[in-house]
């Protein structure tokens, strides 16, 4: 324990090229009245400084639960983490004490939520809430903290920041509130930001502003960014690499360009095919048949098999591992992996 205590606070901007955060074989379960809900079933992913990892999935895919586990904000119980490691700069956060985790959370890892209004305290002014970060974590005086708050609001391009610092959350529009959330996440200059559907609640034109801002700040601070979303468009716009989740597992991992060009998992392919395209006007859209799985009763074998057009017997009995994908000539495709028994046929067919 003492070793961890000394090692867990790294020098802030050290970048040794290794992953900032690494999730290894993470499992999360919820005990409910109806039984055990296996929300996350062995997730592996990592993100480096300055890199954007998009975690793509539908509701119930486990993408948000994984993020909450990383942040340490899962309600336990009902949630339990029976297995897995979450390494932040090589240290397993799951083995740390509450105090140690609390220090990492907020200072080194920050999170942005979908619903900015409910994430902000309605009875405290925005400036106070932003300043609180500095008062609590850095022991600043009230006046300094307020000045810092204004500076942050400027940085996230809130017009007339000095005049609005004493306004309350409800006085801001949705887009502005999300900027305030970003400002709050940035306050202590974290190494990693986890953004859980940060623009889903926003209008398209505002969405673009907020995503641009986030990408710009990420570059500026050389942060890692985990972007959790269901929107294939947003992912294509900002991600470096993508992890596609289905029923609590990562089914495919790939650099962004590769994934859209040649998906290696039938689920990814189905998602991409079901986007309406111009030449499909007047025709039926491709639709993945069936429904997302009930996490109480995840199908045996590959969880996607009841909905998969290519499923064979092996898919119903054997869980496919997330393995690398090779080019037709046998050379390894860098950064690519797929959890499909027929990954080769899928990517090349």
Partner 1 sequence: MPDMTKSGTVTAAPDAVGAAAPAPQPLKAEKARGLWGDAWQDLRRNKIFIVSSVLILLLLTITFFPSWFTSANPAYGDLAKHYLQKPQLGKVFSAEWLGYDQQGRSVYARLIYGARASIAVGFGTTILVTIAGGLVGMIAGYFGGVVDSILSRLVDVFFGIPFLLGTMVVLNSFPKRTTWVVIGALGFFGWTQLARVMRGAVITTKQADYVQAAKALGASTTRILFRHILPNTLAPVIVVATISLGVYIGAEATLSFLGLGLNGVSWGNDISDGGAQIRVAQWIMLYPSIMLTITVLAFIMLGEAVRNALDPKTR
Partner 2 sequence: MAETDEPQDATPNVSDVEVVDAHSEAEAVAAIDAPVERGEPILQVRNLVKHFPLTQGILFKRQIGAVKAVDGVSFDLYQGETLGIVGESGCGKSTVAKLLMNLERATAGEIFYKGQDITRLSGRALKAVRRNIQMVFQDPYTSLNPRMTVGDIIGEPFDIHPEVAPKGDRRRKVQELLDVVGLNPEYINRYPHQFSGGQRQRIGIARGLALNPEIIICDEPVSALDVSVQAQVINLMERLQDEFNLSYIFIAHDLSIVRHISDRVGVMYLGRIAEIGSDEQIYDHPTHPYTQALLSAVPVPDPEAREHRERIILTGDVPSPANPPSGCRFRTRCWKAQDKCAEEVPLLAIPESFKGSDTPAAHESACHFAEEKDVVHVA
- x/- mask, partner 2, residues 51-70, rule CB under 8 A, reads -------xx-----------
Of 1, 6, 17, 33, the one binding partner 1 by CB under 8 A? 33
Output 33 or 289, the one with its CB closest to partner 2: 289
CA dist 25 and 49 (Å) reads: 21
As to burial, measured by CB atoms within 10 angstroms (0-12 exposed, 13-18 middle, 19+ buried), residue 306 is middle
Q: Which two tokens stand for residue 103?
A: 């220090």
- Please report how close the Cβ of residue 280 comes to partner 2 at its closest, in angstroms: 7
Nearest residue to 132 (alpha-carbon basis) of 178, 184, 189, 193 = 184
Residue 257 touches which of partner 1, partner 2, none (CB < 5 to 8 A by kind)?
partner 2
What residues between 215 and 254 interact with partner 2 by CB under 8 A? 230-239
- Please report how close the Cβ of residue 161 comes to partner 1 at its closest, in angstroms: 36
As to burial, measured by CB atoms within 10 angstroms (0-12 exposed, 13-18 middle, 19+ buried), residue 4 is middle
- Our measurement of the distance from residue 147's CA atom to the centroid of its chain's CA atoms, rounded to an integer in Å, reads 31
Output 136 or 296, the one with its CB closest to partner 1: 296
- Please report how close the Cβ of residue 6 comes to partner 2 at its closest, in angstroms: 42
Residue indicated by tokens 């007047």: 282
Output 59 or 205, the one with its CB closest to partner 1: 59
- Please report how close the Cβ of residue 200 comes to partner 1 at its closest, in angstroms: 20
Q: What is the DSSP letter of 292?
A: P
Q: Which two tokens stand for residue 83?
A: 């297995």
Output 30 or 246, the one with its CB closest to partner 2: 246
What residues between 267 and 306 interact with partner 1 by CB under 8 A? 284, 287, 289-291, 294, 297, 306
- Please report how close the Cβ of residue 286 comes to partner 2 at its closest, in angstroms: 6
Nearest residue to 269 (alpha-carbon basis) of 320, 238, 241, 232 = 232
Please, are residues 87 and 21 in contact by the beta-carbon 8 Å criterion?
A: yes
CA dist 189 and 288 (Å) reads: 42
CA dist 12 and 87 (Å) reads: 16
- Residue 78: cis peptide before it, omega within 30 degrees of 0: yes
What residues between 2 and 41 interact with partner 2 by CB under 8 A? none
Residue 233 touches which of partner 2, partner 1, none (CB < 5 to 8 A by kind)?
partner 2
What residues between 278 and 297 interact with partner 2 by CB under 8 A? 278, 280-281, 284-289, 291-292
CA dihedral 131→136→142→144, nearest 10 degrees, is -70
Output 18 or 78, the one with its CB closest to partner 1: 78
- Please report how close the Cβ of residue 109 comes to partner 2 at its closest, in angstroms: 26
Please, are residues 317 and 300 in contact by the beta-carbon 8 Å criterion?
A: yes
Residue 231 touches which of partner 2, partner 1, none (CB < 5 to 8 A by kind)?
partner 2
Output 24 or 157, the one with its CB closest to partner 2: 157
Residue 33 touches which of partner 2, partner 1, none (CB < 5 to 8 A by kind)?
partner 1
Q: Which two tokens stand for residue 99?
A: 């105090």
Angular region, 335: left φ>0, alpha ψ -120 to 50, beta rest? left
- The answer to the question of residue 174 lying near partner 1 (CB under 8 A) is no
- Please report how close the Cβ of residue 288 comes to partner 2 at its closest, in angstroms: 4
- Our measurement of the distance from residue 303's CA atom to the centroid of its chain's CA atoms, rounded to an integer in Å, reads 21
Q: Which residues of 277-305 are buried (b: 16+ CB within 10 A; e: fewer)?
A: eeeeeeeeebebeeebbebeebbebbbbb
Binding site for partner 2 (CB under 8 A): 58-59, 159, 173-176, 203-209, 211-212, 230-239, 256-257, 260, 270-272, 274-278, 280-281, 284-289, 291-292, 307
Binding site for partner 1 (CB under 8 A): 33-34, 284, 287, 289-291, 294, 297, 306
């Amino acid at each position: 324990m003492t070793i961890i205590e000394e090692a867990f606070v790294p020098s802030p901007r050290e970048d040794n090229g290794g992953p900032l955060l690494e999730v290894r074989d993470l499992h999360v379960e919820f005990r409910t009245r109806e039984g055990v809900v296996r929300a996350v079933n062995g997730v592996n992913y990592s993100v480096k400084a300055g890199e954007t990892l998009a975690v793509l999935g539908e509701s119930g895919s486990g993408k948000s639960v994984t993020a909450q586990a990383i942040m340490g904000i899962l309600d336990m119980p009902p949630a339990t983490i029976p297995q897995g490691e979450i390494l932040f700069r090589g240290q397993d956060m799951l083995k740390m004490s509450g105090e140690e985790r609390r220090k990492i959370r907020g200072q080194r890892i920050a999170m942005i939520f979908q619903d900015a209004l409910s994430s902000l305290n309605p009875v405290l002014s925005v400036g106070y809430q932003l300043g609180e970060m500095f008062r609590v974590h850095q022991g600043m005086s009230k006046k300094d903290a307020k000045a810092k708050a204004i500076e942050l609001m400027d940085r996230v391009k809130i017009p007339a920041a000095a005049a609005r610092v004493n306004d309350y959350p409800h006085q801001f529009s949705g887009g502005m509130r999300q900027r305030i959330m970003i400002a709050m996440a940035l306050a202590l200059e974290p190494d990693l930001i986890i953004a859980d559907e940060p623009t889903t609640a926003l209008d398209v034109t505002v969405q673009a502003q907020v995503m641009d801002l986030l990408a710009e700040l990420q570059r500026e601070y050389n942060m890692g960014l985990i972007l959790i979303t269901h929107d294939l468009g947003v992912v294509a716009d900002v991600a470096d690499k993508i992890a596609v989740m289905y029923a609590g597992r990562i089914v495919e991992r790939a650099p962004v360009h590769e994934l859209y060009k040649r998906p290696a998992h039938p689920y990814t392919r189905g998602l991409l095919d079901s986007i309406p395209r111009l030449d499909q006007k007047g025709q039926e859209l491709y639709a993945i048949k069936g429904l997302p799985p009930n996490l109480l009763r995840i199908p045996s074998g590959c969880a996607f098999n009841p909905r998969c057009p290519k499923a064979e017997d092996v898919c119903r009995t054997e869980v496919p591992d997330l393995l690398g994908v090779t080019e037709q000539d046998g050379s390894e495709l860098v950064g690519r992996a797929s959890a499909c028994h027929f990954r080769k046929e899928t990517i090349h067919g």
